[in-house]
Each structure stands twice: as C-alpha cells, then as structure tokens.
Chain A
Amino acid sequence: MATTFFRILKFGLQNFSRNGLLSATTTVIMVLAILVFNGLTIFGVISNSAVASLQDKIDISVYFKSAAPEDDIVKLEHALQSLSEVRAVEYISSEKALAIFKQNHDSDDTISQALAELQTNPLLASLNIKAKDPNMYPTIAGYLETDQLKPIIEKVTYGENKEAIDRLARIIDTVRVAGVGITIFLALVAVLVTFNTIRLAIYSNREELGVMRLVGASNKFINGPYVVAGVIYGLLAALAGIIVSTPLIVFISPYVHAFIPDLSLSAYLGSHVPQFVFYQLFFGVALGATSAAVAVRRYLKI
C-alpha cells in the first residue's frame, strides 16, 4: 500500500519534471487562474466594504413633538432595539441636537448670533434608526405608523427620503447580485481554462495511458501520477500567485483607501495571512487535482 503510494508519487514527479514545457505552460495558466481568483476575492472585499459604508449612510429618523415625554421615547427606543430588522437605534435629545447643530455651524456668525438670541431650543428630540438591511426600512417605517405612536411623533423622515433610500437599496442589491454573478462567471472561466489546459496535456499523453493499460497497470497507477502532477501545478501556481499578488495588493491599497476610507487592503491582508495562503493553496491544488482526475478518465477506455 505504502509502496504503491510512493510509486505513484514518484511517477507523478517524473511526469511533472520530464514534461518540462507542458508542465510550465500548465502552471502559468493556473497562475493566471489563481490571479483571477485573487482579483475576485479582493473585488468581493472592496464591494462589501463599499456596500457597508453606503448602508451606514442610510437611516430613518423619527422626530418627536416637543411635548413628548422622554419616557415614551426611551420606551420606543427599547422596543425598536428588540426588532429583528433593526441594527442600531440612537437617541438624540433636543439638547444634543442643538449641540451638534452649533458645532456644525460655529464658523457661521449669522447662525451663531441667531441661536444666541433664541430663548428656547427649537430642535426636536429624535431617534435615529439603522436597519440590518436596506430592504427592511419599509417594515420599520410601518411599525412607526401606528395610531398609538401618532400623538408623540412629529414626523418620520423615511417618507421624505423614501425614494433615495429605495434607490440606494436597489443599487446595493444590484451591486451584490452583479458581484456574485461576475465572480461565479470569471471563476468558472478560470476553472474551465485550467481544466482544458490539463486535459490537453493529458491528451498529448493519451497513447501512454493505453500502453500502461497494456502492461497491466491498474487505474490508480495510470490516474495517480497525473493527479500528483496536477497537485504540483496547483502548489506551484499558488506560490507564484501569492508572490505576485501580495505586492500588487499593497500597491493598490492606498488608491482603494482614498475611495473607501473604512478599508485598508494592506491591513486586511495583514490580518488574513493564513486565509490568504490557505485559500490559494486549496484552490490551486483542488483545481489541479480534479482537472487531472476528470481529464485522465476520459482517455482511460481500454
């Protein structure tokens, strides 16, 4: 059993090293496939961050009548927090609202002066609600439109921002679906190109497969070495992929950071080294081995 395994391993290494040019081309194609895979992963990270930072900008604000008792507002805040659709609720009292307003306009003398002349605080207390998913805003808005709450609520900004929020929700959904679609499509292309390259490499050896059969080799002796060679292509391609992508990611990181301030690709890479290495090795080895196993079966008739 062990002898068989080591012989298959040995034949696989010979397959790889003695078909130099073929092995090199196949590995290069797999490196390209792995770079596509990396590109897609990074595209995923970027689009997720972009979506997340957009989502963060969407919210509903509920403004309360100045007579509304603070107890009722806090009660509503707790009720909202317990809703499964709600991600966060922030209570902004009228004093806090004024403080924020002052801070935002402290360079504008006219406004500062006007404020100083006011005896009472003209700003209303509000609850700022963020949903887990943009699609959930209508549900949350619906929850706020009950008769019970009417007496204390001055206005819900969802009605006014509805169109903008809905459009943003649709865009985000489209970006997600398109991202997944593009990823699946390109990954499929990369897989097919790799598979075809390995298939061609094996096709050029198809007579050998028959010869091995005639000499009494069982299937594992015929398949095995090609699968081993496929694993070697995958390992080498993954290593090359890591060596090429790492500096590229570090290079584009500042440009991406300029667009999405919440995202630093370099830092992301730094905190995901094991995943980054593992996924590429896994992708490369799985792709190489399965392609070889599937391809060699086609030529194993006799």
Chain B
Amino acid sequence: MIAFNNVSKQYGDTAVLSDITFKVAPGEFISIVGKSGAGKSTIIKLLIGEDQPTRGRVLVGSYEVNKLKPDELPQLRRKVGIVFQDFKLLPTKTAYENIAFALEVEGRAQEEIEELVPQMLDLVGLADKKDNFPDELSGGMKQRVAIARAMIHRPAVIVADEPTGNLDHVNANEIMNLLLKINELGTTVVLATHSKDIVNKLRKRVVALENGKIIRDDARGNYEL
C-alpha cells in the first residue's frame, strides 16, 4: 500500500535521508520516531509529494509519488488525509467550511456535502462549533477539525506529522484516541512524532530514525533511544 524503496534525500550537500526502505500494509498504524532533525517530517513530505526524493521511489497505492507532476498531485492529496502540528486550517473559513472544502474541491455534490460534513463534525465532537472560525477554537478543537477534514473523503491513509505537538496532555490523548478509532475503522495511519509517551502507549509498529537512517523497525515497538 505504501512503500519507500531505497529513498535518499539531500538538501544541497547535506544528506537528510539515506537509503530508507520500508513498507506499510493496508490498515496498519505506523509511528515514525526520532530526535528533532532525524528526518521524520522529510519522510512525510516525500509521502505526500510536497518534496521529491533525490534517489529512490515512493509508492502510495497506485501512485508513484516521486513521478507525479504538479497537476496530478491534487489526485493523490484527495486519497491521503494530512494532519499537521500547526493544524493548517484556512483562517477565513468556519469549522464547517474547512471540512466541506476538501469535498468541494473534489467536485462532490452539494447534498452529499451537507450530509457528510455534519456526520464528521459529530464524530470529532464539534457539532456545536461548526460556525466558529479557527481563531475562535482551542488548539485541540482545531486539530479535531483538521482530522475531520483529513477524514471527510474516506482516505485509505491518514498521514499525521506531530499532530499533538502543540497540545497539552488531555488534548493530545483525545487526538490519539481519535487516530486509533480511525485506524480501527480500517484506515492506514502514518504518524511522525518524537513523543515517547505517545508511542509507548500505542503498542503499535515503530520505525526509528537517526540521522536519516532507519535504526529499528519493531512490530510492537517502544520508543527507546
């Protein structure tokens, strides 16, 4: 479903990723861990086509991401839900509109949107905040909107880069529970994080990075460095 084949990434002369190879099966929950600067975000960027690898191939479903042209990227982005540390909500759109936007750009029918978005708002527990703008929401609420937006078109994969990085314990737990719930419903989750607590609680597969190399890949991993 997802495969990195001998992927290397250099920025100028500095190698950020060297010879990364791993596979993710459908329905898996995989955490990519490592110290700051280890290359976690770079892996995520290559996965969603935000950047190109220097060498190697990145496969997501039927897409060979490293070969996608800019005008083919929207297709991939509609198959993959993306969640970021800084939420990346559209500030001039309400919670409802932010979620609906992902369907609107796909050309979905209005009736379908009006049916799906409230369902998703319910799922993330924000039905009463649908008309609020992002700066009227707490960090945890913003992240739940972002997850709802990522999930709204039922992607096969959710990619989350440090989704709890800006949140306190309580909110972070809520977000992790949401991601686990999504995973249980059959969606593949790729999580990049440096939070030891989170990874150890998950008891899921862990890929550990150090200086751009995979140093461990455990099916039921702990975060040990």
Interface residues of A (CB under 8 A from B): 3-4, 7, 14-15, 18-19, 207-208, 210-219, 221, 302
Q: Which residues of A contact B101 (CB under 8 A)?
A: 212, 215, 217
B148 CB to nearest A CB, Å: 12
By secondary structure, the A interface counts as helix
Name B76's closest neighbour in chain A (CB-CB).
A216
Contact of A216 among B78, B88, B92 (CB under 8 A): B78
Known: A4-B107, A14-B92. Contact between A215 and B48, CB under 8 A? no
Q: B25 on the interface (CB 8 Å rule)?
A: no
A215→B104 CA distance, assembly (Å): 11
Interface residues of B (CB under 8 A from A): 48, 50, 70-71, 73-75, 77-78, 82, 88-93, 101-102, 104-107, 109-110, 149, 153
Name A215's closest neighbour in chain B (CB-CB).
B102
Q: A18, A207, A211, A219: which has the most chain B beta carbons within 10 Å? A: A211
Contact of B71 among A14, A210, A212, A218 (CB under 8 A): A218
Contact of B50 among A14, A216, A302 (CB under 8 A): A302
B121 CB to nearest A CB, Å: 17
Q: List 6 A-B contacts (CB under 8 A).
A: A18-B92, A214-B77, A215-B82, A217-B74, A218-B105, A302-B50
Known: A3-B109, A3-B110, A302-B50. Contact between A214 and B104, CB under 8 A? no
A234→B70 CA distance, assembly (Å): 31
Cross-chain contact B107 with A211 (CB below 8 angstroms): no
Known: A3-B107, A3-B109, A302-B50. Contact between A214 and B88, CB under 8 A? yes
Cross-chain contact B93 with A14 (CB below 8 angstroms): yes
6 new A-B contacts at CB < 8 Å, known A216-B153, A217-B74: A7-B104, A14-B93, A15-B92, A19-B92, A215-B101, A218-B71
Contact of B102 among A14, A207, A216 (CB under 8 A): A216
Cross-chain contact A208 with B91 (CB below 8 angstroms): yes
A4→B92 CA distance, assembly (Å): 19
Known: A216-B78, A221-B105, A302-B50. Contact between A211 and B89, CB under 8 A? yes
